Structure 1
Amino acid sequence: MEEKEKRRAHPYIPNSVPEIKEELLKEIGIESAEDIFGQIPEHLRLKRPLNIPKAITSEYELKKHVTDLLSKNKNCEEYLNFLGGGCWQHYVPAVCKTIMERDEFLSAYVGEAFADHGKFQAQFEYASCIGELVDMDMVNTSTYDWAMACATTVRMASRMTGRGKALVAESISPERLSCIKNYAWSATPNIEMVKYDPKTGLLDIDDLKSKLSDDVCVLYMENPNFFGVIESRGQEIADLLHSKGALLSVGVDPLSLGVLEPPAHYGADFACGDVQPMGIPMSYGGGLGGFIATPDEPKFVAEYPSLLFGIAETVEDGEYGFGEVLYERTSYASRDKAKDFLGTMAQLHGIVAGVYMALMGPQGMKELGEGLLQRASYAAKKLSSVKGVKAPLFDSYHFKEFTVNFDGTKKTVAEINKALLDHKIFGGKDLSKDFPEMGQSALFCVTELHSKEDIDMLADALASVVGM
């Protein structure tokens, strides 16, 4: 029986049928799969079986097992969610889910060695929609996420200017800052932070002036910034940078561009952000896809590491084809001689975001943006009525997100969020660790999914929790 068990194929592992496995080993000239790992020292190898349950061979039993595990989670279907900070709960139109699950898109990885089935055109249409939204003509295929996109713009700016120092606004996402420091350090080993005004949350212009020098290649900032504050002095910031020969990269929430000016209109050289709010469901913090946009100029295009899709007339009159632009500049083509390197991209999420933008149109994006502005304003005013709560913390206009301070309640954000769970509410993102200067503050997010009643429910629950 034991020998028979060893000879069985594993239900989840391809090519685990014993006969097929033996054939594969024979083909590559080894006797055992262990020979593949011969270079790994013995002291690094685990000498016992992994402590994992046996495979469940019945599809029904496996589904039931996974469902039971998932039922232990607290999810946003059952709880009211006010978390944001980089992955937001927006409405996902049914058509977006339908397109995302189509086999020709879902199963076609990158597209180089597989049948296209219209994916190149879908990528071109997506890039065209982003281009119209940010009012820039060159848009890349979706990178892994916003963090990778903004770090890539820093690297691009360094190559374009030949400089090795980058300025980064302190008012950006800590996760994106971490990625910039990790990914861009070889291009810009000197990264200096620019402060924000503690009263308004806006970029500190005086601090920017003091740190601008001839070795600065770029400033990366976000608008709205991580605190939801809308930066109103973009043109002044861009002019300061350009006067020193430096570039400006602005990270944006694409949904804000239905009501706010795109970065190109106030002098930005790069616009970047994430497509997640545009028809991509949340998934354990995922569902992300970063975009980069620039002017359609050779000096910018030559520095893109990611794929770019364009349209060209074919040999047949009236026919058009969709293909890659300047493929030779990518690491796929240039290999070790490439200026930068490219890994897995989120093309699928870009296609879905294109569907979302086409579905919404300019008027839809405008109406959505106006609704998010109104909800954020109402929510901040409502929460500020709770004794001991200051909302918003910054005296500025906010889009979708705003910072709430709880110092007056004598409770920590962690204590408040834990208590809110008893009301089936996910509270705001705790900022006390990443931004200790704010005291016990949290970032709250409201979207089109939140009704007036939902916001009122949060305020009532918060009043009950703080007990004041």
Structure 2
Amino acid sequence: MFQTVCPRTSSSGASPRCSRRTAPSSTCPYQPELSQGLLQALWEYQSLICELTGMDGANTSMYDASTALGEAARMAHRLHGGKTFLVPRALRHNRRAVLANYLVGTGIAVREVEYDRETGMLDLAKLREVDSSDVCGVYAENPNFFGRFEEQLQEIRAATKGIFIVGVNPIAQALVRPPGDFGADIVIGEGQVLGTPMNFGGPLLGIFACRQEHIRKMPGRVIGLTRDVTGHRAFCMTLQTREQHIRREKAMSNICTNESLLAVAAATYLSVLGANGLRRVAADNIRRAKDLAAAIDKIPGFTAPLFRGAHFNEFVVRHKNGYAAVHRTLLEKGIHGGLPLTRQLPEMQDAALYATTGRHTPEAVAKLLAALEAVR
């Protein structure tokens, strides 16, 4: 059994809520108004996501953050035109691969923007060198791939004429200004951290929100609040003319069955924690990452975090003799430590991405540090 030392999940799971007999339901109701309870739960989820992101509208879910990014790129093209989509070079390889798959046949080319080797943030000078006349959109993350808070969202927005898309960690949003304050047009994210337990890499929950003026170009299902024929409050699926069961091949997307069950679980998680509770979870993640990085940095041969500045719950660790031997040593001791970055960023063959959350006990952290101490 491997002791995982870098899960990206939150400290409490949603499985009890998902397993209640009253919770599981059709994720794609074709007589939706008959399921007022489900529609209200999804409407509450949308409202919570809008509050976290500073956006005007949200859909009921995408499959995951990667597919949300793919849909966001296509939406940017619909809104702004242009054939170039800008992404950070430091982007999760699976997210980059899904994005490329979503853009097959669209004529949209993905262009990477370098990261600053000192700060770990997007290199603004490189971004400003790009000819933005044919750019449909630019994507940035906060926190970014290195766990670093992206402190330049305002400058990134000013440097591009296209649609501005921001990827977020919804828990981190409890402590930072929402992307809407910096001029974001679309916000995406991975909602798995909102109370969904780890289960061999899934299930996942794609967050997708946008500004009011863009909602008719947004993919996915949207729940609205209205009045029925008797004047009573009622929930309904709204703006359905965007969807494939009506517009067929001209629809905004081809997503139908989505992650509604997990959206309900996420809404429950956020509601139970409340604003103060979510802030405590976020602050705990920051504290744990800071403490772990400081402890690793004291071990001879290690540097942590590699990029100085504010991090959330992830940070880069560098070893002076390369990270491959470190990784092997940890695996031999039953520890799955940081994610080696060589495959994605060849210049970082001596580095790995670490993460810590409330799931890590003091004993697990002590075991990791002892194993790292043994590396020479």
Where on the TM-score scale, by shorter chain, does this alignment land: which range? over 0.9
Contact 1:405 / 1:440 at 8 angstroms: preserved in 2? Answer: yes
Matching residue of 1:439: 349
Contact 1:253 / 1:273 at 8 angstroms: preserved in 2? Answer: yes
- Aligned partners of 1:134 and 1:191: how far apart in 2? 25
Contact 2:27 / 2:258 at 8 angstroms: preserved in 1? Answer: no
Matches within 5 A, 1:35-46: none
Contact 2:25 / 2:261 at 8 angstroms: preserved in 1? Answer: no
2:225 paired with 1:311: yes
TM-score by length of 2: 0.95
Deviation, 1:107, is 4.1
Deviation, 1:197, is 0.6
2:72 paired with 1:149: no
- Aligned partners of 2:172 and 2:103: how far apart in 1? 27
1:418-452: CA deviations, max 9, x gaps? 32234332211121111111122111110122244
2:242 paired with 1:332: no
Contact 1:172 / 1:221 at 8 angstroms: preserved in 2? Answer: no
2:337 paired with 1:427: yes
Matches within 5 A, 1:348-359: 348-359=261-272
Q: Which runs of 4+ in 1 moved over 4 A?
A: none
Q: Which runs of 5+ in 2 are unaligned?
A: none
Matching residue of 2:10: 90
Matching residue of 1:109: 27
Aligned pair partner of 1:449 in 352, 359, 369: 359
- Aligned partners of 1:102 and 1:183: how far apart in 2? 35
Deviation, 1:117, is 6.0
2:290 paired with 1:377: yes
Matches within 5 A, 1:201-216: 201-216=120-135
Aligned pair partner of 1:133 in 52, 71, 76: 52
Matching residue of 1:275: 191
Aligned pair partner of 1:265 in 181, 185, 199: 181
- Aligned partners of 2:107 and 2:11: how far apart in 1? 38
- Aligned partners of 1:116 and 1:152: how far apart in 2? 27
Contact 1:104 / 1:117 at 8 angstroms: preserved in 2? Answer: no
- Aligned partners of 2:67 and 2:286: how far apart in 1? 28
Amino acid at match of 2:227: E
Q: Which runs of 5+ in 1 are unaligned?
A: 1-73
Indicate the structure (1 or 2) with the bigger Cα radius of gyration. 1
Contact 2:323 / 2:352 at 8 angstroms: preserved in 1? Answer: no
Distance of aligned partners of 1:411 and 1:218 in 2 relative to their CA distance in 1, 3 Å threshold: closer
Amino acid at match of 2:79: M
- Aligned partners of 1:109 and 1:121: how far apart in 2? 13
Q: Secondary structure at the match of 1:106?
A: coil
Deviation, 1:100, is 0.8
Matching residue of 1:256: 172
- Aligned partners of 2:153 and 2:255: how far apart in 1? 30
Matches within 5 A, 1:7-26: none
Aligned pair partner of 2:163 in 241, 247, 261: 247
Matching residue of 1:51: none
Highest relative contact order (Cα 8 Å, sep 6+), 1 or 2? 2
2:235 paired with 1:322: yes
- Aligned partners of 1:117 and 1:312: how far apart in 2? 12
Matching residue of 1:124: 43
Contact 2:216 / 2:242 at 8 angstroms: preserved in 1? Answer: yes
2:116 paired with 1:234: no
Contact 1:181 / 1:191 at 8 angstroms: preserved in 2? Answer: yes
Matching residue of 1:342: 255
Greater share of strand: 2
Deviation, 1:211, is 0.9
1:393-418: CA deviations, max 9, x gaps? 11222110001112x1x3543x4333
Matching residue of 2:99: 180
- Aligned partners of 1:398 and 1:188: how far apart in 2? 36
1:54-102: CA deviations, max 9, x gaps? xxxxxxxxxxxxxxxxxxxx36xxx2x2224xxx232224xx3232113
Distance of aligned partners of 1:188 and 1:279 in 2 relative to their CA distance in 1, 3 Å threshold: farther
2:311 paired with 1:368: no
Contact 2:75 / 2:217 at 8 angstroms: preserved in 1? Answer: yes
Q: Secondary structure at the match of 2:121?
A: coil
Matching residue of 2:81: 162
1:10-49: CA deviations, max 9, x gaps? xxxxxxxxxxxxxxxxxxxxxxxxxxxxxxxxxxxxxxxx
- Aligned partners of 2:36 and 2:183: how far apart in 1? 38
Amino acid at match of 2:299: V
Amino acid at match of 1:463: E
Amino acid at match of 1:437: E
2:111 paired with 1:192: yes
- Aligned partners of 1:231 and 1:186: how far apart in 2? 32
Q: CA RMSD in A?
A: 1.8
Distance of aligned partners of 1:222 and 1:185 in 2 relative to their CA distance in 1, 3 Å threshold: farther
Amino acid at match of 1:83: C
1:263-284: CA deviations, max 9, x gaps? 1111111111011001101111
